[in-house]
Structure formats: structure tokens, C-alpha cells
Chain A
Amino acid sequence: MDENYQSGPEQPAKLADQSREKDATGEQPGSPGLPGPETGNQDVSQLFPVVGIGASAGGLEALRGFLEAIPDGPGAALVVVVHLSPEHHSLLAELLQPHTPMPVTQVTDLVKMEPNHVYVIPPNRNLSSIDTHLRLSPLEESRQARAPIDHFFRTLARTHDSKAVGIVLSGSGSDGAVGLKAIKEAGGLILAQDPVEAAFDGMPQSAIATGIVDDVLAVGEMADRLLTYFSTEPVVVLPDEELDKPGVAAGREDAQVLQRIFARLRTLTGHDFSRYKRGTVGRRMARRMQLHGLTSLQAYLELLRDEPDEAHALFKDLLIVVTNFFREPATFAALAEEVIPRLFEGKGRDDEVRVWVPGCATGEEAYSLAILLLEHAARLEDRPSIQIFATDLSKQALVVGREGVYPEAIAADVSPERLERFFVHSNGAYRVREDVRELVLFAPHSLLRDPPFSHLDLISCRNLLIYLQRDVQRQLLELFHYALQSGGYLFLGTSERVDERDLFSATSADHSIYRRQDVSSADPRLPSLPLASIAEAQPHWGEEPRGQRRQAANYGALHQRVAERYAPPSLLVDENHHVVHLSERAGHYLQHPGGEVTDNALRLVREELQAELAMQLYRAFHQQSGSRSDPVAMTLEGRPRAVSLYVEPLLENGQRFALVCFLETDGSDAARAAGSDAGRDDLVRELEEELAATKQQLRAAVEEFESSKEEMRASNEELQSMNEELRSTTEELETSKEELQSINEELVTVNEENKNKVQELSQMTADLQNLLAATDIATLFLDRELRIQRFTPAASRLFNIRHSDRGRPLAHLTHKLVSYDGLIDDAERVLRTLAPVEQEVADGDALRYFLGIRPYRTADDRIDGVVITLVDITSLHEAERALARSRERYRLLVDSAQEYAMFTMDSAGHIDSWNTGARRILGYEEDEILGQPAAVIFTPEDRESGAVERELRIARQEGQAINERWHIRQDGSRFWGSGVVTSLWDDGELGGYAKVMRDNTTRKEAEEALRESEERYRTLAEMLEDRVEERTVQVRQLASELVASEQRVRHRIARTLHDDLQQMLYAAEMQLQFLREDAAREVQDGLEEVLELVTGSLGVTRQLTVELSPPVLKGEGLPEALAWLANYMREVYGLEVLLEVTGDPQMDYEEQRILLFQIVRELLFNVVKHAGVRQARVTLREAEDGIVLAVSDEGKGFGVPAVLAEDNGGFGLYNVRERLRLFGGAVDIDSKPGDGTRVSLFLPRVTPDPPEQLGRADPPAGKSAAHEE
């Protein structure tokens, strides 16, 4: 285990606290460096679950069923996202409410989600989950790009991780499928409605097709599933990676269980996930446990043992990577701009651009790259071929990728132009076009186990490294380094980093694109390819660091080291002849040759031993047998020695090694060996020389062998890679084969169709036969030689043909067309000229026929004879004649109508017939007017105002237009024509117009005169009315003036009385009083008399003054004035007046008040003078619109008409009535002789005249007069 990766928490992280890695979603900018152990940016355990429910067509029923099954208080929020018509108000919330006790609300604004609530998306909006709230955003403009369910699921996955639940119910289309993946990746639950139950199965099918749905259920079963899921709050504790270390792990039960789970998984799936990041693995594993309602790892392990399918389910879950087209568009843009063009640099038509996408999942990324590459390649003249290897562990995902069929929702990620160019839209999905699919080769491949591809220009391995432990990451980077060509590019996820600067250098700003660095090592830095060996054989999981192993084997090693001293010196050599270990004294037998430093045993051992060693090693590795060589003479430390080699093969951990022991015999042995037979020296020398030469040759051969072996090894590696490619190609071929099979199927279908067509054809032939037999049209088919080919029964009668006549020339037969003998000539002419001949002919029975001779054209437009048809037109002919007769009758009728002008127009309004009446009325002769536009008979004014066109238009639209207007005769005179225009229709098409019109000038003129005199009388009447009105106003003014001027006269008299006469009388009275006091007794009596006369005169003048101008009237109200009057009448005339006032009877104008006052006074005087009683009653009442006043007594009474008739000159009743009338009032006198009198008055409050006039009539001299006697 990598020491660098020790920063994790000491305590095992709680599963529930492990929120997603930021990087895993790829939606946020990555944090610097490789992701450490998960740091929750939000405590998901605090959240309640949120269930997103997506539905569309047929969804309402499903939603009802779903909600009805949910008991009250499930502890989760339910968010319903459906496709709603953007133009209509949605009643969904109201429709769902009766089916659940939870409140159902339509989201209208930012709203905080509450548990046990149901939220419903509004129309024309996208719904997003932000934090713990729901927010609305505008829906995409284009219908194609709309996918509100995906949108919501994606945001929900981002905010709620494992607390998110996605459910897809009935609906057509594929919305939801993409979003479900996001939820799944975040660790949420995914359910789909059983397509059998769903009204529309498109959406559930698309969801299920993703292969990630946890369960497919009927809506009624979903509630139980959800409740189990919610209630199993995972309390699972997943051991951290550190606990895997030997020593630490001991005693940790969980760690052991986890190891067993990994082992189980490896056994069943062949993949080892122990080297995946524990956070990711744990999260997915916990989700599986939650699904099964399990809370402990032990229980889950048992489940894995009992149900092999679970291991596959877990395996599938572990491999889920959300991938989109052009994920992180900015990075893709950078790639397209910076990297793609360089991949093509220096490559021509015969070269290849090679790209590898390991962990390609369902292929979106691979296709994205293919699209980028194709887009660039399109700009090049010499296009290199493009090869993309897309590999993944999951074969299921690869099937999806190979198919290249994606839901419509990808429109959100792929621009419309690219959709158009690289995809085919069909059946509610997008399929990648053939030419793009051809570039991508999908193959199952494990990065950790299988050899890599090679000579690559680009490796795109995005968001895969983050799932792996750090040391594995490093190994993979070395692998990539190997696989890439010099200068090749590595494309990583934005959150992934390469720290191995010696291998790769960053080229892009966001560190997602790296370039391979050339390492200046002679040995290609080969990655440890056989990672698989670890996975295959090791009972432990995880690779134990070497250092630790050494430490553990401490005593054994010591023992070995000591023992080595007494053993012969030896080497441990691996299969490739590299020296992997030396014993202490083995150095004697080794030498360091010049040139590159090497650990190759064959080059390290002393020259004398090299050949022998090569032979022995070959034997050891290839024959698996140990052997001992003959001693070889050599000089060691100045002494001759004989050394023999013992080589024994070993197998350790599947690797083959060989032990090479140097067994030394002393020099004498060597000498003995050398000179055993001195007698045959020459022969020996000769042999030795030969041997030396042979040895020389052997050495050369060995060297050659060595180098070729090196080459072989390199080739082998190459072959391995090629093999890999071959495997992939085979896969592809398999697919092609399947495709071929399906094409074959199609061909079978086509064949079937063809059979049907043939059948149809024979059916049609039969139909044709029947048609010919049934038709009444005599038809003859002749070939080029005018031989009869086919004929109808009608023809057989006319031409005397029998069935046996087929094939005979027509000329040999007689026919009944008595008046026509050019038949054969005409037929020949038709054959020659190809122009049809049409003619009317008659037979001996006086039947008429329409004869047609036409060339017979075959389907390929060849002339292969003629067709003669004879249609019986006898009845038609008769009808035509009848028509001509009726037309003539009609013409005569029209022509004889002298009083009416009748003419017809064509559809453009040009006159095309003209009767006698028209000639008489309008003056035009027929030949003058035909062809003229109808406008010539209209007045210039009507022509200008478009009356002509209007008339025709109305006739056209309404059938006829009735018109009366002035027309113009030929001589320019006008006449009043009244008539009607009728539109004439011929088979729905306008054929023209007919106009019938008569001269109505006389009537028109009479009407005009009548109208004018009416007008005159009306004006006169109006004038009279105005005059009367005016007079009435004048009379009213005069009445006012009269009252006022009378009042003025009264004032003037009163003033004269008061100011002069009365004062002088006062003075006289005073003087008389003084005189009376001073005078002698004898004149006193006389003075007294004079004084009495003066006093009497004074009384009279005062009374006169008051009566002429009552002092109270001015400025006081009517009730006050009447009260004064009552008092006055009592004091002066001894008449008891009872005054009764009800309401507040006030008059606005002085004149009205004065008038009423005067009337009352007059009536009271009448009582005094005529009634003969000493009591009267005055009632004053305020009415709604005026004042009602009544004076009554119980006196003698009188005859009303008599009183009114007499003009007594005073202020009599007649006067009262007339004055009141002027003010709009009325009087009602009720009196009979001997029965008292009652006079009632009504005076309206309404102002009779404008107030100014009354104001002007106001007497100017009122002021002082009111105060004077």
C-alpha cells in the first residue's frame, strides 16, 4: 500500500456520512489534487428522503394508484414531475388531492420541501432541487430539448445523494432515463412502473433499458418498497483501507468480512474491487444493503453467498459511471482546439489516428471523441483513418455502446447541428450514424488485468482513476505511458491529476489534458503488465508491499544468508535471463563487460562459462530439468580451475526462475581433464582448434540467438497487443455477423412481400378481366398489325367478333358503323402519328357513338398497338338538342321583354349578351356593347368609388345583389335603374353574371319630391317648436319681471308714504299735542278733534305702507313671513289665522317667495272680505319637489267657475292661477256656496328659469324701503 495515502481518518467513516465525492458528479470544478477520502459538503443524513416521480401520458391514473397506496406520513417529500401543456393551466394538484391525505401543492415559487408533502410541477417550467428547496426555471424553448423529468432527477441526485428516489411511471418517450442514472450514481433508489401495467410503456421501457433500475413494480407495490427503503437507515460501518494492512486488520471483524465480500465478488465476477476507493465501493454496497433491508456487512455477505445474482447486481452498481455526450463541454472544446488537430499532424491517407477510451461505459464519451475527430478530419484533404478502442468491464454497457441508440434527452448535451449530422432520429431515440459507429470498436477489457493497446495517439480515461486507489492509479499511468506513442495525449477528468511529471506533462489550464513525456531510458519502461497475476492467484487481497514481506521473513533470510556461505556460489536468474539474486561468492564467476550496464546473466558470467550457461538455461526453462555441465577449465585468481555449472529450474508464484550453481573442482582436475592423453597431442590440438572454432561459432550463434530473443520478446509484446485488437475486432465481427443475420431476416421479409405483390398482381388481372366484361364501353385492343387482342362484350356486338376471332386482323371483320368506313385507315394513322383520333359515328340502329382511337402504350412507354373505344352517346346527343331548343326559347323570351334591360356578363364583368329591352333603355346596339365592361353604363362617380366591383362582389358572395342607382345611357343622359345582378355558377366555378334592370326614374323623382317636402315640413316644425320654447322663456321672464316691477311700484309708493306723508303727519301730530297743552280751554276741544284726525290718518298710512311692502319679507324665510302675516291679520283685521308648517318649506328665489306671500295675503283678504268668518287656516308643507300651501275657511263659499271668470281687477283667484302657472305651479280651488273654501297651491322648487334672469329682475331699491313705514 502506498505510504502517501495515509491521510484518511483513523476511524472508519460512517457510510451515511459519506456524501458523494464532488468529482464523481463532474458537475463542479474539481478540488486541487487527487480526491482524498470523502469530505461531505452536505450532511445528507440530516435530510429526509425526496421521491421524484416522473410521468407523462397515462400518468394520471398511475399517480393516483401510486398515491393511494402511500400511507399518511411516509416521512418523505414526493415531487411529481409530469409533461404539461405549456399553454394550459394545470389542475393536476386538485386532481391528485382526493387520493392522498398529504397536502398536494403546485409549486409556484421557491418553496422549502417538507416531509409528507406532495409537490407538483407547474406548466411551462423546469423544476430543480436546490439545497432543501424546490425552484422553478423556464422550460427550454425547443420541444426537443425539453426533459423536465431528467432535469429534476439530475438536480435531485446532486442535492440528496442516497436520499433521492427516482420513479418513472407511464409515459411515452424517454424522459427520465438519463436522470435516473444520476440518481443511481449518487446512491439513490430507482423504480420503474411495470410496462405491462403502464398505459404508455415508452418511459418505463427506456428507464429499464438503462439496465440500472433497481426494481420494476406495479404502482400498488411501490409504497411498500419505498417504506422499507426509508426505514433502513444504513448504520453500516465500512472499514477504511488502512485496516486492510496486516496487523491492523487483525481483530477487526468488519475488515475481514469486507475482504470476504471482495473475495466473493472476485470469484463470481472475476473482478477485484479491493483496489477501488473504499468510499465509492462502500456507498454502492450500502445502497444494495438498504435495498434488501440489511444493516450489517455480515448479513450482506450471507446474502451474497445465498444469491449469486446479488453479486452481479453489486458488480453492475459498482461500475455505474454517469457519462454524457460532451461531458464538461469546456474541456471538450479545449480538446477539440488544442489536441485533436495535433493528432492528425504529419499523418496521411495511409496512417491511422488511434484512440483508446478505457472505461467507456455506454459509449457516449467514445462517440463524443469520434464526432470531434470526424469534424476535424472533414477539414483535411488527406484523411488518415480513425480507430477508437472503447473498452469497459461491463459487457452489458458495451452492448448499449455498440448499438449506439440513446434517448432523446441527449439533445440537452448535443448541439442540433451535431444531432443532425451524426445521429439518426427514429422511434423516439437517436442512433449514432453508421459512419461514426464504424470508427469505434467496443471490446470488454480490464485495465487491471488485460494488456493494453499500443501505439495510441490519445487515451481518454475520464473519471475512472478517481475510483481507484492511489498506487493503482500510478500503475495505470505507467501503463498509459507505455500504450501511448511518443507525444501522445492523455485526457483525464477535470478532477484527476497526474503527479508523475516524468511520465506526463500538463498541457491544458484545467489539468485535464496531458502529453506523454519521452523517458530517456534505454529500457522501455514497461509497466508491470501481469497485474492479473495478483488478481488470479493471491489469496490475499491487495498487494503486499515488498518491504513488509522482507521484514516478515527476517529469520528465514538470515538463515539462508548464513547457509549460503557453505553452499556453492549461485545465481538466481529469471526467465528472461536477468539476474535477480546473487549468493555471496558468486562474484568470482562474473565479470562486467564494457558497454551498457546489464543484469543479463549470459553477459555477466565469465566468457568461458557463457556458452555452457546458455545451454543449461535453455534446458532448465524449456525441458524443466536440472542438469550439470561438464567442467570447464578456466583460470581463477591465477590458478587453473575446473568449474561445472548446475542449473535447476524453479517455479515461484507462477514465475519461473533458475538456480545457477558454480561447482568448482581444483586445477589438477582441470589439468587432468586437459591432458589425459598426451600421446595424441596433435590430434588433440587439431580437435581443440576445431573446437575453438566451433566455440567461436557457437558464441556467435548464442549472441545472435540472444538478440533475436530480445526481438522476439518485443514482437511478442506487440503480438499481445495485436491479439487484443484482434479480440476486439472479433467482437466487432460478431456484431457484424449479427447485423448480417438481421439483414438476412429483412431479406426474407422482402421476399415475403414480393410474394404478396405477385398475388396482388394476379388479383388485379382478374379485376381487369371483370372490368372489361362489365363495362358498357365497346373497347378493342389491337396489336401493331391491327389484330384483335382483347375486346369487351359491347364491342363484340358492334364488330361481330367472337372469341375465336382473337388474333384475326380487324380488317377481316365487318362492323355496324354504317356511316364510317375509315376505321382501319384511322387506326393505321394513329399507329403512325401517335395522335389520337376522336369522332362521332352512328350505327344502323341510329345509335350514336363517340369513337376514340388511341395508341396502346406499354408500362415502359412502348407503342404496342391501338385501343379503339366506342361510347354510346345517343342520350347525350338528344339532351344536347333539347338544350339548344330551350336556349332558343329562352333567348326569345329575354328579347321580347321590352320593359327590362337584361344582359349577361362574363366572369371579368364584360357584357356578353344584350336584349332588346337593354337596347331600348340604355340606347346601345348589341354589337356596340358586346365585349365592353359593364362599367360603361355606370356613372363616373360610381365607377370611381368602385361600385361596379362591389356589386359584382356581392353577387359573387351572396348569389345576388339588389341595386338601385343612376345609370348612364349611350347619349349621356341618366336614368334611375333598379335591378338585380345574379352570379352564374358552372360546376362550382364562376361563369359570369346576369343583370336584370328597369328604368325607375319616374318613381325615383316622385320619391325625391316627397322626401324634400317632408324635410321642409320637419324643418318648419322644428322652427316652430324652437319659437314656442323661446316664447315660453320670454313669458317666464316677463312674469318674473312683472312680480318684481309690481314689487318695485309698491316699494316706491310705500316709501313715499313713509318718508314724507307719514313724517309730516307725525310732525303735525306733535305740534298739535304741544298746542293742546298750551292752548286755551276753549280751543282745546277743536284741537283734540284735529289731533284725532291726524292720528287716524297716520294709522291709515302705516297700514298702507305695511300692506304694500311687508317689512319682514326681505331676507326672511316663508314661514317667518307668513307668521308675521298671521299676526298682522289678527291685529289689523281681527282675523284669527292658524298657521301650520310641516317640514322646512323654503323657496330659493325671492320672486317665488314674494309670489306665495302675496297669494296668501290675497286669499286671507278674500276671507276677510267675502267669507264672513273670523277664522282661517293656512297650511304650509314641504313636498318632495316643491311646496304645497293651502288656505281654507269655513265661510260662505262661492261658485268656482263664476269667480274665475270674473275679472275683478284685483289680485283675484284668476290672477293667482295664471301667475302660478307661469312658475310651473298649479292651483286647486274647492269651494261651494255655503260650504267653505279651500284653495291649495303647488309651486315646484325647480328653478323655472336661469337664476341670472331672476337676479336681474330683482328690484334694486329694496333696501331702505323694507325698513320704512
Chain B
Amino acid sequence: MTEARPRVTCVFIVEDHPAVRKMLLQFIRRTDGLALCGEADSAEAALEQIPASGAQLVLVDVSLPGMDGIELIRILHERYPHLLSLVLSGHDESVYAVPALRAGARGYVMKGEILELVEAIRHVCNGGIYASHDVRAKLDRLG
């Protein structure tokens, strides 16, 4: 599968808290096969920058000032159906996972589980949906 996809995946980060953002940049630099192509601290800024950034995957925090992350994902999914998006949230998945996935996100990762992110990105880039078993079942039930 890795041969089929571009070696490097360009990631765009949307995160309002500077410390977390900085950590995420560090994480992307540290990880092989991932390249940072842009960052934004609000959904509005993200919508401006993403088109020119060449991003293939957007990492979105749910809680943002102004427009929230789920709304951003809905708009991105509408405009760029091929653009992959992944939610990174401090909230328990039981609250936001289902709405996020329904809005077009391909995966949901808790902020405390940052090490799962590599696996999640890989999975999503290979066309999968990254979510816990419970969330996926719930999603299937809702259709």
C-alpha cells in the first residue's frame, strides 16, 4: 500500500492553542512520510490558506474560536472532496466523534493519545476510517 501513495503526505494543522500547535509541528517533523504545508489558529484562516497550501490532509481541533472544527470539516469536505481531514480533540469521542465523521472527517484522535496519530494518518491515507469500534458501530447504526 505504501508504494501506491506518494511518499510524503502534506499535512495542514488547524489548532488555536500555540503550545499544542508547536507540539504538533514537532510531531510532524519527527515523523517520516509527513510534511507540514501550513498551519492556522482559526477555521477562517485555515479556509484562506488551505487552497494554496497543497495539503493532502488537515488536522483539525474541534474547539476553535469562531467557526468550530466540525463546521470547518463540513465546508472543506464540500469544497475539496479529496482532501482528507482528521479530528484531534481533547473531548471524549463519545461527544464529538459521530458529528465529526458525519461532517466528513475520516478519523478522530484524542489529544492524550498523540502516539496513535501516526497510525491514524496512515490508515486514513490508505482510504480507511480511523475511529474506535464503538464510534464506528454507532455511525453504522445512524447510516
Expressed in whole angstroms, the Cα–Cα distance for A79 and B84 within the complex equals 103
Task: Establish whether residues B20 and A1063, one from each chain, have CB atoms under 8 Å apart when the complex forms.
Answer: yes
Given contacts A1111-B95, A1264-B65, A1269-B91, whether A1067 and B114 have CB atoms under 8 Å apart is no
Task: Establish whether residues A1067 and B23, one from each chain, have CB atoms under 8 Å apart when the complex forms.
Answer: yes
Instruction: Name the interface residues of B9-37: CB closer than 8 Å to any CB of A.
Output: 17, 19-20, 22-24, 26-27, 30
Task: Establish whether residues B63 and A1268, one from each chain, have CB atoms under 8 Å apart when the complex forms.
Answer: yes
Given contacts A1062-B90, A1102-B90, A1269-B90, whether A1073 and B68 have CB atoms under 8 Å apart is no
CB 8 Å contact bits of B72-103 with A (1 = contact, 0 = none) = 00000000000000000011001100000000
Which of A1059, A1062, A1066, A1111 neighbours the largest number of chain B CB atoms within 10 Å of its CB?
Answer: A1066
Nearest-neighbour CB distance to chain B for A991, whole angstroms, equals 104
Expressed in whole angstroms, the Cα–Cα distance for A1060 and B18 within the complex equals 10
Closest to B94 in A: A1127
A1112: which B residues are within 8 A, CB to CB? 95
From the candidates B65, B90, B114, name the one contacting A1070 in the complex (CB within 8 A): B114
Task: Establish whether residues B112 and A1058, one from each chain, have CB atoms under 8 Å apart when the complex forms.
Answer: no
Expressed in whole angstroms, the Cα–Cα distance for A1112 and B91 within the complex equals 12
Given contacts A1058-B63, A1267-B62, A1269-B90, whether A1066 and B112 have CB atoms under 8 Å apart is yes
Nearest-neighbour CB distance to chain B for A1071, whole angstroms, equals 6
The reply to whether the CB of B115 lies closer than 8 angstroms to some CB of chain A is yes
The reply to whether the CB of A926 lies closer than 8 angstroms to some CB of chain B is no
Interface of B is mostly: helix
Given contacts A1058-B63, A1111-B95, whether A1066 and B22 have CB atoms under 8 Å apart is no
Task: Establish whether residues B114 and A1069, one from each chain, have CB atoms under 8 Å apart when the complex forms.
Answer: yes
With contacts defined as CB atoms under 8 Å apart, how many contacts are there between chain A and chain B in the complex? 59
CB 8 Å contact bits of A1047-1067 with B (1 = contact, 0 = none) = 000000000001110111011
Expressed in whole angstroms, the Cα–Cα distance for A1071 and B63 within the complex equals 21
A769: which B residues are within 8 A, CB to CB? none
The reply to whether the CB of B111 lies closer than 8 angstroms to some CB of chain A is yes
A1074: which B residues are within 8 A, CB to CB? 23, 26-27, 30
The reply to whether the CB of A1098 lies closer than 8 angstroms to some CB of chain B is yes
Closest to B96 in A: A1267
A1063: which B residues are within 8 A, CB to CB? 17, 19-20, 90
Task: Establish whether residues B63 and A1070, one from each chain, have CB atoms under 8 Å apart when the complex forms.
Answer: no
Closest to A1063 in B: B17
Closest to B26 in A: A1074
The reply to whether the CB of A1032 lies closer than 8 angstroms to some CB of chain B is no
B23: which A residues are within 8 A, CB to CB? 1066-1067, 1070-1071, 1074
Expressed in whole angstroms, the Cα–Cα distance for A1058 and B63 within the complex equals 10
B91: which A residues are within 8 A, CB to CB? 1111, 1267, 1269
From the candidates B24, B94, B95, B112, name the one contacting A1069 in the complex (CB within 8 A): B112
Task: Establish whether residues B112 and A1095, one from each chain, have CB atoms under 8 Å apart when the complex forms.
Answer: yes
Nearest-neighbour CB distance to chain A for B63, whole angstroms, equals 5
Nearest-neighbour CB distance to chain B for A1093, whole angstroms, equals 14
Expressed in whole angstroms, the Cα–Cα distance for A128 and B95 within the complex equals 95
Expressed in whole angstroms, the Cα–Cα distance for A81 and B57 within the complex equals 108
A1058: which B residues are within 8 A, CB to CB? 63, 90
Interface of A is mostly: helix
Expressed in whole angstroms, the Cα–Cα distance for A105 and B99 within the complex equals 83
Closest to B66 in A: A1264
Expressed in whole angstroms, the Cα–Cα distance for A1058 and B61 within the complex equals 13
Given contacts A1063-B20, A1267-B63, A1269-B90, whether A1070 and B95 have CB atoms under 8 Å apart is no
Nearest-neighbour CB distance to chain A for B141, whole angstroms, equals 16
Closest to A1267 in B: B63
B63: which A residues are within 8 A, CB to CB? 1058-1059, 1264, 1267-1269
Expressed in whole angstroms, the Cα–Cα distance for A1095 and B114 within the complex equals 12
B112: which A residues are within 8 A, CB to CB? 1066, 1069, 1095, 1098
A1062: which B residues are within 8 A, CB to CB? 90
Nearest-neighbour CB distance to chain B for A516, whole angstroms, equals 123
The interface on chain A, measured as residues whose beta carbon lies within 8 A of the other chain's beta carbons, has a size of 24
Expressed in whole angstroms, the Cα–Cα distance for A1062 and B63 within the complex equals 13
Task: Establish whether residues A1073 and B115, one from each chain, have CB atoms under 8 Å apart when the complex forms.
Answer: yes
Expressed in whole angstroms, the Cα–Cα distance for A1269 and B95 within the complex equals 11
Given contacts A1073-B115, A1098-B112, whether A1066 and B95 have CB atoms under 8 Å apart is no
Task: Establish whether residues B95 and A1073, one from each chain, have CB atoms under 8 Å apart when the complex forms.
Answer: no
Closest to B90 in A: A1269
Expressed in whole angstroms, the Cα–Cα distance for A692 and B62 within the complex equals 182
A1264: which B residues are within 8 A, CB to CB? 63, 65
B115: which A residues are within 8 A, CB to CB? 1073
Task: Establish whether residues B94 and A1070, one from each chain, have CB atoms under 8 Å apart when the complex forms.
Answer: no
Task: Establish whether residues A1059 and B114, one from each chain, have CB atoms under 8 Å apart when the complex forms.
Answer: no
Expressed in whole angstroms, the Cα–Cα distance for A1264 and B67 within the complex equals 10
Nearest-neighbour CB distance to chain A for B112, whole angstroms, equals 6
Task: Establish whether residues B27 and A1059, one from each chain, have CB atoms under 8 Å apart when the complex forms.
Answer: no
CB 8 Å contact bits of A129-142 with B (1 = contact, 0 = none) = 00000000000000
Expressed in whole angstroms, the Cα–Cα distance for A1070 and B68 within the complex equals 23
B19: which A residues are within 8 A, CB to CB? 1063-1064, 1066-1068
Task: Establish whether residues A1066 and B30, one from each chain, have CB atoms under 8 Å apart when the complex forms.
Answer: no
CB 8 Å contact bits of A1092-1125 with B (1 = contact, 0 = none) = 0001001000100000000110000000000000
CB 8 Å contact bits of A1069-1096 with B (1 = contact, 0 = none) = 1110110000000000000000000010
Nearest-neighbour CB distance to chain B for A1267, whole angstroms, equals 5
B68: which A residues are within 8 A, CB to CB? 1267
A1070: which B residues are within 8 A, CB to CB? 20, 23-24, 26-27, 114
Closest to A1099 in B: B112
Expressed in whole angstroms, the Cα–Cα distance for A1074 and B26 within the complex equals 9
Expressed in whole angstroms, the Cα–Cα distance for A1058 and B111 within the complex equals 12
A1071: which B residues are within 8 A, CB to CB? 23, 26
CB 8 Å contact bits of B29-48 with A (1 = contact, 0 = none) = 01000000000000000000
Expressed in whole angstroms, the Cα–Cα distance for A1067 and B27 within the complex equals 11
Expressed in whole angstroms, the Cα–Cα distance for A833 and B17 within the complex equals 146
Task: Establish whether residues A1066 and B90, one from each chain, have CB atoms under 8 Å apart when the complex forms.
Answer: yes
B26: which A residues are within 8 A, CB to CB? 1070-1071, 1074
Expressed in whole angstroms, the Cα–Cα distance for A1264 and B115 within the complex equals 28
Expressed in whole angstroms, the Cα–Cα distance for A1102 and B20 within the complex equals 16
Expressed in whole angstroms, the Cα–Cα distance for A1098 and B112 within the complex equals 8
B17: which A residues are within 8 A, CB to CB? 1059-1060, 1063-1064, 1066-1067
From the candidates A1067, A1069, A1267, name the one contacting B22 in the complex (CB within 8 A): A1067
Closest to B15 in A: A1063
A1073: which B residues are within 8 A, CB to CB? 114-115
Instruction: Name the interface residues of B110-136: CB closer than 8 Å to any CB of A.
Output: 111-112, 114-115
Expressed in whole angstroms, the Cα–Cα distance for A1073 and B24 within the complex equals 12
B27: which A residues are within 8 A, CB to CB? 1070, 1074
Expressed in whole angstroms, the Cα–Cα distance for A1102 and B94 within the complex equals 14
Expressed in whole angstroms, the Cα–Cα distance for A1073 and B30 within the complex equals 12
8 A-B contacts (beta carbon < 8 Å)? A1058-B63, A1058-B90, A1059-B17, A1063-B19, A1063-B90, A1111-B91, A1264-B65, A1269-B91
Which 6 residue pairs spanning A and B have beta carbons closest together? A1067-B19, A1070-B23, A1063-B17, A1269-B90, A1268-B63, A1067-B23
Instruction: Using A1071-B23, A1073-B114, A1074-B26 as known contacts, list a sample of 18 further A-B pairs with CB atoms less than 8 Å apart, ordered by residue number in A.
Output: A1058-B90, A1063-B20, A1066-B17, A1066-B111, A1067-B17, A1067-B19, A1068-B19, A1069-B112, A1070-B20, A1070-B23, A1070-B27, A1071-B26, A1074-B30, A1095-B112, A1102-B90, A1267-B63, A1269-B63, A1269-B90
B residues bordering A, Cβ < 8 Å?
Answer: 17, 19-20, 22-24, 26-27, 30, 62-63, 65, 68, 90-91, 94-95, 111-112, 114-115
A residues bordering B, Cβ < 8 Å?
Answer: 1058-1060, 1062-1064, 1066-1071, 1073-1074, 1095, 1098, 1102, 1111-1112, 1127, 1264, 1267-1269
